[in-house]
């Protein structure tokens, strides 16, 4: 049995592209971003990404890690699609990863400081 490529530090480009492709039927482009289609089932999206793998916490954490780090490992950017957002939402809801920090509102900060 071949070694699971998800257990490596980086995903091969073919697997990254498969993850991009599996999102296409579930997403729409709205306001410059790819988001989950209103009629799409997030569970089916995650199942498509998992492929033959079981839907376990361990596999979701592996998937999240690869989605989050693929671009910094010279691969595809996988954090801008609905798959990353749905996996992240599930893991946050289960308390397995922390909430990402809120984006800074630099303009509001400058106004509050009286600098503009």
- pLDDT tens for 30-80 read 999 999 999 999 999 999 999 999 999 999 999 999 999 988 877 778 898
Instruction: Give residue limits of the domains in the chain.
Output: 5-112
Q: How far apart are the first and last CA of the chain?
A: 63
Q: Across the chain, what does the average pLDDT equal? A: 92
Q: CA dist 72 to 11, 57, 80, 91, Å?
A: 12, 24, 14, 21
Identify the band that residue 83 occupies on the pLDDT scale cut at 50, 70 and 90. Answer: very high
Q: CA dist 22 to 46, 77, 78, 97, 115, Å?
A: 9, 14, 12, 24, 47
Identify the band that residue 2 occupies on the pLDDT scale cut at 50, 70 and 90. Answer: low
């Amino acid at each position: 049995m071949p070694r699971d490529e998800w257990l490596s530090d980086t995903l091969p480009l073919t697997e990254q592209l498969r993850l991009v492709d599996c999102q296409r039927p579930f997403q729409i482009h709205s306001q410059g971003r790819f988001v989950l289609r209103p009629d799409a089932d997030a569970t089916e999206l995650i199942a498509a990404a998992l492929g033959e793998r079981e839907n376990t916490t361990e596999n979701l954490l592996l998937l999240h890690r690869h989605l989050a780090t693929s671009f910094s490992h010279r691969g595809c950017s996988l954090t801008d699609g609905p798959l990353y957002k749905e996996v992240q939402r599930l893991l946050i809801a289960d308390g397995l990863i922390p909430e990402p920090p809120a984006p800074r509102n630099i303009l509001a900060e400058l106004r509050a400081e009286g600098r503009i």
